Amino acid sequence: MSNIEYERTIEINYKHNDEMNKDQKSRFAHELQKRGITLRSRYGTKPVYGFNEVTKESSEYEVLLNGEPIFTTTKNYVAYEARDRMNDVSQQTAEVERTEIVKTRKEWRKMEGNFIELESLEDDYISGKHSLNIDGESIYVEASIYQFYNGMQLEIKTSWRTDRIQREDVIKETLVEAPLAVVGDIQRIFESVLKLKKFGYDVNDVDIDCNFKAMTANESKCSPDIIKMTREARNS
């Protein structure tokens, strides 16, 4: 029999009257990283958030005629085209001098990606997922956030691949109970930042949607006790 992948998805929706602006998102990502969560893309390097020093390099091009400055531009094609035209129509000598400009300033690192990496499981983070080995079983936890004009959503998927159809109690034990501590850590850290005064979210007034799915079977809703267990894990 071919492998069957079971997946449990829980979506926690936090309400707010306003969507975070660019500056708030940068500060939000910084606060999360200080507490042990990094928001990042599925692939690529891990960003370091904060009010960081940024160096930007650019060039200026000064067009001179017989050594006298005519004009300055940041566009190289404009400078060299002007030089060539002046040399074509004049007996005088036009040339371009290039100057390198280095400017350093501090700015907030922008939020890069919506996937969650737990610092405590950094070595087990692979392509947007945390890989857990629990009692010899490989369980994957993928957490991500989505921002809307009236709130934010935390989505946590736990998945497990097995070679046979499993009983309901085994699926619950593997997808809910086994990774519960990790799921609880994600909620706890995420909500500890979300409820800060500068962001102003009510982390107790939430809407929750929870579903189980097998790739070869129909999707079914989580029972109330599973939702309750998942939410209580953030307090453990």
pLDDT of residue 109: 93
The pTM of the full predicted model, rounded to 2 decimals, is 0.75
Distance (Å, whole) CA 192 – CA 93 = 67
pLDDT in tens, 105-155: 899 999 999 999 999 998 889 899 999 998 888 999 999 999 988 899 999
Paired residues of 111 in beta bridges: none
Task: Quote the pLDDT of residue 1.
Answer: 46
- Mean pLDDT for the stretch of residues 11-38: 94
Report CA dihedral (145, 146, 152, 155) to the nearest 10 degrees.
Answer: -50
The whole-chain average pLDDT of the chain stands at: 90
pLDDT in tens, 149-196: 889 999 999 999 888 888 888 888 999 999 999 999 999 999 999 999
**Over 90: is that where the pLDDT of 14 sits?**
yes
pLDDT at 219: 55
* Residue 224 reports pLDDT greater than 90: no
